[in-house]
Amino acid sequence: MTNEFSESLEKKLEETTKLGLEVVKEATEDRLMKLSVGPQHPGSGHFRFTIKVDGDYIVYCDPDPGYVHRGEEKMCEYRNFIQNIPHLERPVIHDSTNITYSYSLAVEELLGIEVPRRGQFIRAIASELNRQVYTLYWLAIYGIFLGHSTMFMWPAGDRELFIDLLTALTGARVTHAFNIPGGVRNDIPDGFKEKCLEYVNYFEKRLKEYENIFYNNPLFRQRTENVGILTKDDAINLGVTGSVLRASGVAYDVRKVEPYDVYNEIDFKVQYMKTCDSFARAYVPFLDMRESCHIIRQLLDKMPESGEVRMKLQSNPKGTPGESYKRVESGRGALSYYIVSDGSSRPYRVKISVGSFRNILALPHLLVGSRLGDMPCIYWALNYWPVEADR
Amino acid sequence: MIKDLINPTNFNLMVSKVSDVLVGALDKPLGYAINWGRIWSLWPVHLETACCSVEFGATSSPRYDCERFGIIEAFGSLRQCDLIVVQGTVTRKMAPRLRMVYDQMADPKYVIAMGACSITGGLYIDSYNVLPGIDGIIPVDVYVPGCPPRPETLIQGCMLLQEKIKRSKIK
Amino acid sequence: MYVIARENKKVENKMTDTNTNTESNTNNTNKSSNLKIVESDLKIENSLYSELSSQFPDKVQLVYTKPKRIKIYVKPENIIEVAFFLRSHFGLDHAESVCGTDYPNENVIEVIYHLNSYSREELSQIIFALSTKTDRNSSYLPSLLPVFKSVEYHERETYEMLGVYFKGHPRNERFLLPEDWADIPPLKKDFRIKGR
Ligand code: SF4
């Protein structure tokens, strides 16, 4: 009798727990709210992701890029090697020297030509200046993301200095088309060296002020420290790159591990941090800017006084059949081109492998489990530029 | 006829008629004042479509500072905005969203097409995913050419729009 | 398929320099002198391949070795096995890109995984291209998602752009293209742009 009773009791208990579980499940499903962030959103830019929130916590995230997918890779197959340059720099218009840098390297390998030494130095200078321009723009947007208007105005103003330098060098504000297979388009103008040194010295002083007003700001620190932890193993597994990777404690910089052009003659340190949080991801680009100043100074110092800046190509050059894979370190990490040539004057296949597209894989990983209010500082610290990721 | 209009079933009709008369009467003395208010408070909506947005950001930077001309920097809420600056390429995926944003905005609303891409398709005219210009989706007031337009050009475009508003009749 | 017959004129600094001291200045190479490739320059690449071929004697096939680049060809049924070996044994833990190329003349689609290492310093300069081929009309490949987490979006993009179906991938879906895309995948060679 007692046995029977206990059995029936157990059954009842089981049933009720089952029922209860179902009720709880339903309740959680009900409690979830689906939000669509972007593409019209002050933060997300040209990008959309759907999230589900339970109260204040994000439990699900699904990125949906492609709002600026313009078919660059298909267009490359219809233009010859030189005609491809202007449209290939559009994906990252404010880092345009770097995105054409690796394209030129890859095409040079296919054409079998080498850049004159002075041309290599000018390329590297333009690339470092452009990295500053990119990072300053990124920092300005990060500032306005977190409601720090001063941090929008300062970098946006200082960015114009480097834009001035690049305008003097290349003749255009942001779309330079400066790197071409075989070298750079033109030599540096008179008085560029002095002006460049002057601006870089001024900018180094400004960087200290940035640190004081932004990175040492207790409000900023509270919002970013220990938010969005991406451990070293996760960072390697997810295949993130650039500043995101270096903020997770992996000292990986293409300029160091696979030096291209003149970077093996430059003395610089790979900047990385081991705290793995959003603060580190925001701070590493800042450290990079500081390191870039050193690099620019060294490059100006070591540059040969005179010489050719570009190899003369025949018109409409034809590549040797084969393939090449070249990469550079851009503002957002390793940026590589894979080009297949079939012996004609047009590439057979161009694959642009960009840092942003790899970093976005970390977004669902970081957002799930964090609070809704942390979304902006996690998202923009990933160093993501949607136009580049969509290509 | 007035008796017919005062009939409660025709109330809506009457209101619209009266408002028409009122607008007609107000246009002369007050139209200038209303337009004056509009041109010095253009609020652009924060809708980025492609790479021209970098130069749009630079327009509100300290060097160019478009607020001097009565254009406030981009703003998040659609309902309070009266200007769309279409910043570059509109892809086939973005086009329905652009139209949706336009439809949700309150009258009066103005559109500036910024960059070669939003005017004709620009560099990407032969791409499979890009619209050849935005005229097919929304009516455009001012075209600002360039790839990307310099901030000064954009500011000039906005001033042209202000000129246009000044001369238009109030609605 | 590709025979790299051309002599590579440009030789980067020797591997050994960057291996030993990555943090400090490696200032002892002369860039302007055109060195010829000597056998020792491809030491790491060749040793990688010989180790791999001793493990999988008839499953892998060398396509080429260049300075810092190595490409092998693997049949689709062996690719997971080989990739797992590359990851666990060599420490190639990072798939930098997944690239599909369409060859209508040979009726194949070639898919290449460009692998690289974050954790092993001496391999971080090498790009290891793992290529495989599938039929053009019924393209099925096993997904490498269980081996490399980072290929998730790359494979999804390859599916959308070339129509290669990755078996085992949870979401073979549209990613970058518009929701109402009803044409053939755009990176196939028989997709023509209008007017070109
Ligand atoms: S006009 Fe030029 S800068 Fe503007 S969106 Fe088009 S390609 Fe980009």
Does C136 lie in the same domain as C92? yes
Give me the mean pLDDT over the A206-212 stretch: 88
Cα B52 off chain centre by: 17
Sign of the dihedral through C-alpha B89, B92, B93, B94: positive
Average of per-residue pLDDT values in chain A: 84
Tell whether C67 is covered by a domain: yes
In a domain, C125, yes or no: yes
Tell the residue number behind the tokens 């891409």, with chain if given: B117
Q: What pLDDT score was predicted for residue C19?
A: 39
Which parts of C56-151 fold into alpha helices (H)? Answer: 79-85
Is C101 in the same domain as C152?
yes
Mean pLDDT of A114-121: 87
Statement to judge: residues C22 and C66 lie in one domain = no
Mean pLDDT, residues A60-84 taken together: 86
Q: Which class in CATH covers the domain with range A72-390?
A: mainly alpha
Gap between the terminal Cα atoms of chain A: 75
Of the candidates A116, A96, A97, A121, the one whose C-alpha atom is nearest the C-alpha of residue A297 is: A121
CB of B129 within 8 Å of any CB in chain C? yes
Ligand 1, atom 3, residue with closest C-alpha = B148
Task: Give the gap in angstroms from C-alpha C150 to the nearest C-alpha of chain A.
Answer: 5
Q: Is the dihedral of CA A91, A92, A98, A100 positive or negative?
A: positive
C194 touches chain B (CB under 8 A): yes
Domain count for chain C, please give it. Answer: 2
Residue C193 identity: I
- A–B CB contacts, 8 A cutoff, strictly below: 98
Q: Nearest C-alpha of chain C: how many angstroms from B58?
A: 28
Q: Do residues C131 and C118 make contact, with C-beta atoms less than 8 angstroms apart?
A: no
Say yes or no to pLDDT of C35 above 80.
Answer: no
CA distance B31 to B23: 9
pLDDT of residue C1: 33
Is C192 part of the contact surface with chain B (CB cutoff 8 Å)? Answer: no
More confident residue, C63 or A285: A285
Give the residue-averaged pLDDT of A54-64. 84
3-state secondary structure of B33: helix
Nearest to A337 by CA among A103, A70, A74, A41: A103
| Cβ–Cβ gap A67/B94 under 8 Å | yes
**Residue C3 above 60 pLDDT?**
no
Beta-carbon count within 10 A of C142 CB = 18
Residues of C whose CB is below 8 A from A258: 12, 18, 68, 124-125
Instruction: Say if residue C26's pLDDT is above 50.
Output: no
Which residues face A7 on adjacent strands? none
Are the beta carbons of B92 and C186 separated by less than 8 Å?
no
Helix (H) / strand (E) element for C115: namely strand C108-116
Q: Give the residue, C8 or A158, on which the prediction is more confident.
A: A158
Start-to-end CA distance of chain C, whole Å, equals 28
- Of residues A7 and C189, which shows the higher confidence score? C189
Q: What residues contact residue C19 under an 8 Å CB cut-off, 6+ apart?
A: C121, C122
Q: Does residue A26 surpass a pLDDT of 70?
A: no
Q: Which helix (H) or strand (E) holds A278?
A: helix A278-302
- Using a CB-CB distance cutoff of 8 angstroms, which residues of chain C are in contact with residue B97? none
Chains B, C: CB pairs < 8 Å: 17
In the chain, the amino acid numbered A136 is L
B164 touches chain C (CB under 8 A): no
Instruction: Provide the pLDDT for residue C31.
Output: 38
In this structure, what token pair is assigned to residue A188? 């540096």
Residue C174 domain-assigned?
A: no
Minimal C-alpha gap between B154 and chain A (Å): 14
Q: C143: domain CATH number? A: 3.30.460.80
Residue from A69, A90, A175, A388 to probe ligand 1 pocket by mutation (most atoms less than 8 Å from CB)? A90
Q: How large is the ipTM?
A: 0.82
Could you list the residue range(s) of the whole structural domain that residue C146 is in?
58-167
In B, minimum Cα distance to A87 occurs at B123
| Phi, psi values for residue B14, rounded to 5° | -65, -45
Search chain C and give the residue with CA nearest A73: C187
Total Cβ atoms within 10 A of residue A109: 26
Q: Cβ(B45)–Cβ(B84) under 8 Å?
A: yes
Least confident of A41-55, A106-120, A181-195, A232-246: A41-55
Are C89 and C159 part of one and the same domain? yes
Nearest CA to A75 out of A67, A64, A83 is that of A83
Q: Per-residue pLDDT for A179 more than 70?
A: yes
Regarding whether C162 and C69 lie in a shared domain, the answer is: yes
**Per-residue model confidence as pLDDT tens digits over A292-327:** 898 998 888 888 888 788 888 888 888 788 888 888
Sheet-wide strand order for A347-353: A322-330, A333-341, A347-353
Regarding predicted confidence, which is higher, C14 or B65? B65
List pLDDT tens digits, range A136-173. Answer: 988 888 888 887 888 888 888 888 888 988 888 888 88
User: Helix or strand or coil: residue A5?
Assistant: helix
Instruction: Give the residue ranges of DSSP H helices in chain B.
Output: 2-6, 11-39, 53-59, 95-104, 115-120, 151-167
Q: Give me chain B's average pLDDT, please.
A: 82
- Ligand 1 pocket test, candidate residues B48, B89, B118, most atoms within 8 A of CB: B89
Pair C116, C160 in one domain = yes
> What's the pLDDT tens digit per position in B120-155?
888 888 888 888 888 888 899 899 888 888 888 888
Question: Has residue A24 got a pLDDT over 70?
Answer: no
- The response to whether residue B159 sits with its C-beta less than 6 Å from ligand 1 reads no
Sign of CA dihedral A72, A74, A75, A80: positive
CA atoms of B51 and B65, how far apart (whole Å): 20
Give Cβ neighbours of residue A357 (< 8 Å, ≥ 6 apart): A388, A389, C153, C154
Q: Exposed, middle or buried, A343 (CB in 10 Å: 0-12/13-18/19+)?
A: exposed
In a domain? residue C106 = yes
Report the percentage of chain B scoring pLDDT > 70. 90
On whether residue C181 sits in a domain, the answer given is no
Q: Is the pLDDT of residue C25 over 60?
A: no
C176 domain residue, yes or no: no
All structural domains of chain B = 42-167 (3.40.50.12280)
DSSP letter for each residue of A139-185: HHHHHHHTT-HHHHHHHHHHHHHHHHHHHHHHSSSS----EETTEES
CA within 13 Å, CB half, C68: 24
Q: Given an 8 Å threshold on Cβ–Cβ distance, is A250 in contact with C118?
A: yes
Is residue C10 in a domain? Answer: yes
What is the residue-averaged pLDDT of chain C?
74
* Structural domain boundaries in chain A: 72-390
Q: Which residue has the higher pLDDT, C103 or B10?
A: C103
CA A90 to chain CA mean position, Å: 15
d(CA C169, CA C151) in angstroms, rounded, equals: 10
CA distance B97 to A40: 8
Q: Is residue C175 part of a domain?
A: no
